[in-house]
Structure 1
Amino acid sequence: MEIHDLIRLSKIAKSHPLKVIKAIWIFFKEGPKVVAQKIKRQDILEDYNAFMNTQYLKWIRKNYPTKEEIAKQRYTRFKYSPKISIILPVYNTPIKFLEECVQSVLAQSYDNLELCISDDASTEESVKEAVLKYAKKDKRIKYIFRETKGHISEASNSALELATGEYIALLDHDDILWPNALHEIVRVINENSNVNFIYSDEDKIEEDGKFHTEPFFKPNFSPHYLRSVNYITHFTVIRRALVKKVGGFRKDFDGAQDWDLFLRVTRQIKKETIFHIHKILYSWRKSKNSASSNIAAMGVKSYAFSNQKKVLADDLNSRGYSGKILSTQNLGLWRMKYKILNRPLVSIIIPTKDKYEYISKCINSVISKSTYKYYQLIIVDTGSRDERVWNLYSEIQKRYKNLKVLSWEKEFNFSEVCNFGVEKSNGEYLLFLNNDTEIITPSWIENMIEFAQLKDVGAVGCKLLFPNKRIQHAGIVLGIEGGRVKKGVAGHPFKNFYNKKINPGYAKVVDSVRDVAGVTAACLLISRNKFIKIGGFDKNLRIAFNDVDLNLKCLKQGWFNVYTPYSVLRHFESVSVGIPGAKGRLVKEFLGEVGLMHKKWGDLLKNDPYYNKNLTLKNEEYTIDI
């Protein structure tokens, strides 16, 4: 640790003494270097939060429902008006927080609701008095005073027993519902008769309830992301019969009981019955005892984080898979590592031409660094004239028998070249790899196969870094505008962000396995059977968007495309072919392929299911659209 780290730590001590206690514990367990890293990370987090909150203040002024809008909603008559039972377990809740919570329910513009309060044997008499006071004022409030403390799951189940509504909604005792929350829920129910599960976006409020901060704009249902982090959290509404069917809340998972419930319920239903509302409807209070508080995460609710591992292990076992649940450097973010079945052959297909310095580095890094040895290399040479390249092929073939060198003598067409490589390969899995890549993670192949082997997964991609260690690829977002393209096709969020200095606020996106619209073919793995089923790469897309098209064909089949941050490669990007609009690339043809993509996928390109509608499409910075 350096002197400025000690100064920073002394400042933290004044306002957050528990953080200093944790720092001392880390110092003795992991050393001064780790403490210094975490202090710097905290500085980055504060800078990130300040920027995002400035943006969010502008957003909330535009989007928080006005009094006029709420008044209009009160007169809305839905064709179907289901009763929503709001489950509210309480225990020694500060009265101010509890009153604000209850009042946010009673202020809803949709009124066919019931508030089911379960007091978990609070020792503060004022809590009971507050519950009785509100119940006397509004007949929609039901309550039960438990005689013995059973903790969060048993208290929630007691509240659930009071419920009579078609749907239940989950609410924490110190949080706030936005006044339009239930109206938006019922609107979705009326628009979709098959609704089983609904969740919304959320933000946080400071302990005093005056300031909204840290918005979380979520993707549509993402099962693999949900098995990395409980991104759904609040506001969640589930058909009551389903909650009953899976047995309600389980006390062995206290602190992670919501996550456990979400996983068990979503395993029982079709993804088409799960809906996400791209609106913030819930504010999570940053009180000292709340899981939304960093201080609480350090100690008060550490049991919750230990139970998260149990939740994921149970889910893995319940789905019939083997594997491990591994913690990460980000608290609350987990890695579900699947066991690879058998030892499938992987065909690594590399289209290439000349560029000796890159193809030699690429091939040698695959051979020397890969810990997975059951692969074959398929080199599709599209017209190299550099003798060093051909000598390289000959040299490698002498010491590596499972290498095929194919010559492509027609005009370059990335799609046709890759399809040709597939025809000449034998692998159960196909791994398309650019010639301008270099392996960083030795287990890169295994880390991709573990997802590609799952029945519901189409394409799998990895994290790609530029030589300067900035991010080049962490999944594809549809519709991002840029350059000569007025109508966006796709882009790479977080492009040119520093990998190791990534804002902690982005960590749950960049550093977790998650479902994405697509992954780049610079490094893309897919099962052979699935590739053939969707017809491979479209030859009409010769130079661009062929990988995006392939991914969208996977989505059309009902498969999820998965990004994994646990396979990392270095990427020099388009050194052989160039960049659209640069010398050597036909701009007219490129723009023609943009038009073809919009003709083929227009509606989907405007509505990426894994990118929130409140985030900008004007750049790749993953910021709020103001």
Structure 2
Amino acid sequence: MKKIRYFIDSIEKEEEEVVISGWAYADGEPKVKIEVLNVPDYKIETVERIDIFEKFDQQEEALETGFKIRIPETKKKFSIVFKVKDDTIVYKTSYKRFQRGDDVRKFRGLLGKIRSILHLLNPYNIIKVIKFIHYYGFSETFYKIKGKLRMSAFAPGIGYDEWFRDNCAKEVELEEQRNHKFEYKPKISIVVPTYNTKESFLVDMIESVVNQTYSNWELCIADGASSNKDTIRVLEDYEKKYENIKVKYLKKNYMISDNTNEALELATGEYIGLFDHDDLLTPDALFEVVSELNEDRSIDFMYSDEDKTDENESEYFDPNFKPDWSPDTLTSYNYITHFTVFSKKLLDQVGEFNSEFDGSQDYDLFLRLTEKAKNIHHISKILYHWRVHKNSTASGIGAKTYCMDAAKGALQAHLDRIGEEGTVKDGKYLGSYKVEYKIKGNPKVSIIIPNKDEVPTLKKCLNSIFRKTTYDNYEIIIVENNSTDKKTFEYYDEISKRDNVKVLRWKDEFNYSAINNFGVKEAEGEYIILLNNDVEIISRRWIEEMLMHAQRKQVGIVGVKLYYPDETVQHAGVILGIGSVAGHSHKYFHRDEMGFVGRLKITQNLSAVTAACLMVRKDVFNEVNGLDEKFKVAFNDVDFCMKVREKGYLVIFTPYVELYHYESKSRGAEDSPEKIERFNGEIKRFEDKWGLWIRDPYYNENLTLLREDFSLREKNEVHK
């Protein structure tokens, strides 16, 4: 018997009708027959569903699976019958009943929002809000809070706390870990500086180490002459009880860096783990670390995902699902933080904590360690709970603003060590930074713009370039392809009178890749900007902001931030795997929102960016033979980025270049048979070419590939 699969998306009133929308599909059947019972007069429209087509591996029968059923407005119950040859399903409902179910779903989501609002209204967060308003004003603060609320209810009806408790290691798994025999069993020395730590926090911290499922560890504590007798008593009790807990009682408080260095002197393990005195490890933290080391012993620096918890560990919130090693993200802010483990040999090579950078001493050490590390590894699991209380750094960067000055100093020292000429400035939000790299010389930049008719669109684009650009050494190459409007050629004649504008004519059929390759061959510049004709420049220093990165030898491509005309995000980088192949990061977020963990506001490494506006060195473009002309319309820019990354170059997204992109949000799916066939062919070509590369190292496997909003991976969601 063939099993029919179906889903009712909505039942809504439209004037005097009730409209039922959804889809139905059965393997191997050309179409599911749909009937409505208990309704005398109804109409059924077939709707193409690209999402269902992709869901069922591009089976031809899955394309026309959508439906809209229109029935006269009624309060009575009715039945929708789905039929194929060997199966029949009857779905009984009514408009009122469906709305009740929808109300329940909305209520569950609302409960998650209410919990989040209550959390945001605690005294510590109110202080943070006041400080944020002081630094950035009411508008920025509004979108900061809006973003927090957006991220707090990650999936319909579920908040992060519930998600974490569902997904963390359960007791059965923990017991299996305790009994597991590793071939390689290195000792991990966990170092902790303490000073007047609250008794309950200290006990919780130590117990979280004692309860590890991996047993070859030692806890090395240096106490900075605490005056709190309870702190000393707890330390003495645990030191007596466990041989692998070592405590050094210092004669005075040497402050955070030197106190931690004193704890490091106690360490005898092959690996060092950094741990704060009031935080918590998950019981499987060290097991996961050692599992990775057994897979690859060359790893000498690793970090995990983390979240936050309150004073009583009653709720988990603010998860930080991190990217894999991302050097430009690290120079934008300390995204690594906790839990971090590195080899003792690597530490000996770079030196211990530097008290000059107290307040951001971890950031300084991470910069030095990653400069020398041979294999940096990310564990995409929550292994660390950062406790939020009034004295913790986790309660907000505003709680310890001295951290920011120390961080900028550490970052400047990093640039000096690696020989990069740049200046460290404050970023777009507190605790983030911007490195302005020095532009070398005055190289020529060639801007390639394909165009077919659409004179008003092209004129708006060019006028914005002429009006906004502050960089003087550039040329514009318009690649005319198959225009028919006489006014287009009149405008070409007019615009070509400018010394730095020329028009080339492409005479073959439309092929986005080939057209751009043709333009680049005629370009005089050392640097190339690929630019759509339907964009408008917002940022005045747009060329300089891209050029400062493109000149760095390790960087291949620089992408930018694009907005729809309604001030929502159209592009903030590309995430591989969304929509089967790739989707745009944070699509439809407001331009002032922070995004997930501030990612809409920082320079970062990504797998790909759109060619609606990107910069690439011409020698890199030629090294990978330009855009692949087999990708005529779709995925050519993503494929181009993949080729550049394959050569070892980095792809960068900068939020400091902003443009409007007048691509219509309601453009919809490509729905003609020819376009669908071409689109599917390019999907298959991309998947065949890149295979496992489609896993995005700059995303996180705990986040969904069903949407572009960085929400949580859903329960039954399968990643490739």
TM value normalised by structure 2: 0.79
Q: Which moved more, 1:52-61 or 1:535-544?
A: 52-61
Q: Does 1:95 align with 2:199?
A: yes
**CA distance change for structure 1 residues 472 and 12 in 2, over 3 Å: closer, same or farther?**
closer
1:297-336 matches, within 5 Å, as 297-299=397-399, 301-336=400-435
Tell me, what secondary structure is at the counterpart of 1:142?
Answer: strand
AA in 2 matched with 1:228: S
SS at match of 1:618: coil
1:521 is aligned, of 598, 602, 611, to: 611
Instruction: Indicate which of 482, 504, 528 corresponds to 1:406.
Output: 504
1:225–1:514 Cα contact (<8 Å) kept: yes
Once the two structures are superposed, the pairs formed by residues 493-508 of structure 1 within 5 Å of their partners are 493-500=585-592, 502=593, 504=594, 506=596, 508=598
The question of whether the paired residues in 2 share the 8 Å contact of 1:12 and 1:20 is answered with no
Write the distance in 1 (CA, Å) between the matches of 2:313 and 2:620: 51
Following superposition, the deviation at residue 314 of structure 1 comes to 1.1
Structure 2 residue 336 is matched with structure 1 residue 232? yes
In structure 2, the partner of 1:484 is none
Is 1:533 the counterpart of 2:633? The answer is no
What root-mean-square deviation, in Å, do the aligned CA atoms of Structure 1 and Structure 2 show? 2.2
- Worse-superposed segment, 512-521 or 379-388: 379-388
Q: Tell me, yes or no, if the aligned pair for 1:95 and 1:130 is still in contact at 8 Å.
A: yes
Secondary structure at the aligned position of 2:153 is classed as helix
Alignment of 1:388-467 (within 5 A): 388-398=487-497, 400-467=498-565
Separation of aligned partners in 1, 2:452 and 2:129: 54
Q: Once the two structures are superposed, what CA deviation does each residue of 1:532-590 show, in whole Å capped at 9, x if it has no partner?
A: 11111101111110000001111111211100000001101289xx7651469722111
Q: Deviations over 1:220-274 (max 9, x none)?
A: 000000000111100000111111211110001111111111111111123xx11
Alignment of 1:44 with 2:146, yes or no, is yes
Cα displacement string for residues 342-367 of structure 1 (whole angstroms, at most 9, x for unaligned residues): 11111100111001111111111112
Select the structure that is richer in strand.
2
Which residue of structure 1 lines up, in the alignment, with residue 247 of structure 2? Answer: 143
Q: Residues of 1 paired with 2:319 and 2:414: CA distance?
A: 28
Going from structure 1 to structure 2, the CA distance change for 1:614 and 1:412 (only over 3 Å counts) comes to same
| Contact 1:580/1:590 (<8 A) preserved | no
Indicate whether 1:614 and 2:718 are aligned.
no
In the alignment, what sits opposite 1:7?
none
| Matching residue's letter, 2:659 | L
Could you tell me how far apart the structure 2 residues matched to 1:397 and 1:231 are? 48
Deviation by residue 1:9-42 (Cα, 9 ceiling, x = unmatched): xx99996389569849966xx7xxx643355346
Question: With CA pairs under 8 Å and 6+ residues apart, which has the higher RCO, 1 or 2?
Answer: 1
Indicate which of 162, 169, 174 corresponds to 1:58.
162
Alpha-carbon separation, structure 2, partners of 1:216 and 1:113: 26
Kindly report which structure 2 residues correspond to 1:155-554, keeping only aligned pairs within 5 A, or say none: 155-270=259-374, 273-294=375-396, 297-299=397-399, 301-398=400-497, 400-481=498-579, 488-500=580-592, 502=593, 504=594, 506=596, 508-554=598-644
Q: 1:22, 1:191 → 2: CA distance?
A: 44
- The code of the aligned residue for 2:149 comes to D
Q: CA deviation at 1:616?
A: 0.3
Aligned-partner Cα distance in 1 for 2:255–2:616 = 45
Question: Aligned partners of 2:128, 2:536: CA distance in 1, in Å?
Answer: 42
Q: In 2, Cα distance between the equivalents of 1:46 and 1:349? A: 39
Give SS of 2:700's match. coil
Q: Are the equivalent residues in 2 in contact too, given 1:436–1:574 (CA < 8 A)?
A: no
Q: Does 1:16 align with 2:123?
A: yes
- Runs of 5+ consecutive residues of structure 1 not aligned to the other structure: 1-10, 482-487
Select the residue among 69, 78, 83 that pairs with 2:182: 78
**Structure-2 change in CA distance of 1:380 and 1:574 (3 Å):** farther
Q: 1:508 to 1:385 in 2, by over 3 A?
A: same
Percentage of identical aligned residues? 41
Number of residues of Structure 1 aligned to a counterpart in Structure 2: 594
Residue 68 of structure 1 corresponds to: 172
Distance 1:537 1:579 in 2: 25
Partner SS, residue 292 of structure 1: helix
* Alpha-carbon distance between aligned partners in 2 of 1:555 and 1:184, rounded to the nearest angstrom: 29
1:559 aligns with 2:649: yes
State yes or no: 1:133 paired with 2:227: no
Which residue is equivalent to 2:208? 104
Q: Is the 8 A contact 2:193 2:263 kept in 1?
A: yes
Does the aligned pair in 2 maintain the 1:13–1:20 contact within 8 Å? no
Q: Tell me, in whole angstroms, the C-alpha distance in 2 between the residues paired with 1:174 and 1:191.
A: 31
Secondary structure of 1:81's match? coil
Q: Tell whether the 8 Å contact from 2:152 to 2:317 is kept in structure 1 after alignment.
A: no
CA-CA distance at 1:127 after TM superposition: 1.4
CA distance in structure 2 between the aligned counterparts of 1:13 and 1:562, rounded to whole angstroms:
33
- Report SS of the residue matched to 1:162: coil
- Compute the displacement of 1:321 (Å): 1.7
1:567-622 per-residue CA deviation (whole Å, 9 max, x = no partner) reads 001101289xx7651469722111101000000012111x1111100000011111
- Tell me, yes or no, if the aligned pair for 1:48 and 1:505 is still in contact at 8 Å: no
Between the aligned partners of 1:20 and 1:281, the Cα distance in structure 2 is 28
Q: TM-score, normalised by structure 1?
A: 0.91
The CA distance in 2 between the partners of 1:176 and 1:275, in whole Å, is 21
Question: Equivalents in 2 of 1:204, 1:513: separation in Å?
Answer: 24
Per-residue deviation, residues 450-496 of structure 1 (Å, max 9, x unmatched): 11111111111000001111100000000112xxxxxx110002111
Once the 2 structures are TM-superposed, how far is the Cα of residue 498 of structure 1 from its aligned partner?
A: 1.2
Q: Which residue identity is paired with 2:450?
A: P
Q: Deviations over 1:434-458 (max 9, x none)?
A: 0101100011111111111111111
Equivalent residue letter for 1:385: T
Q: C-alpha separation between the residues in 2 aligned to 1:366 and 1:43?
A: 34
Secondary structure in 2 matching 1:130: helix
Question: How far does the alpha carbon of each residue in 1:310-333 deviate from its partner, in whole angstroms, 9 at most, with x for none?
Answer: 111111221212222111341111
- Distance in 2, matches of 1:17 and 1:55, equals 21
Tell me, in whole angstroms, the C-alpha distance in 1 between the residues paired with 2:439 and 2:370.
Answer: 24
Residue 279 of structure 1 aligns to which amino acid in structure 2?
A: K
1:65 and 1:571, CA in 2 relative to 1: closer, same or farther beyond 3 A?
Answer: same
Taking the aligned partners of 2:271 and 2:436, their CA distance within structure 1 comes to: 34
The alpha-carbon deviation at position 120 of structure 1 amounts to: 1.3
Identify if the C-alpha distance between structure 1 residues 362 and 73 changes in structure 2 by more than 3 Å, giving closer, same or farther: same
In 2, Cα distance between equivalents of 1:145 and 1:109: 28
Q: In 2, are the aligned partners of 1:352 and 1:435 still within 8 Å (CA)?
A: yes
Q: Do the aligned residues in 1 keep the contact of 2:428 with 2:601 (CA within 8 Å)?
A: no
- State the AA in 1 paired with 2:229: E
**3-state DSSP class of the match of 1:241?**
helix
Taking structure 1 as reference, are residues 580 and 538 closer, same or farther at Cα in structure 2, changes over 3 Å only? farther
Q: Distance in 2 between matches of 1:471 and 1:141?
A: 51
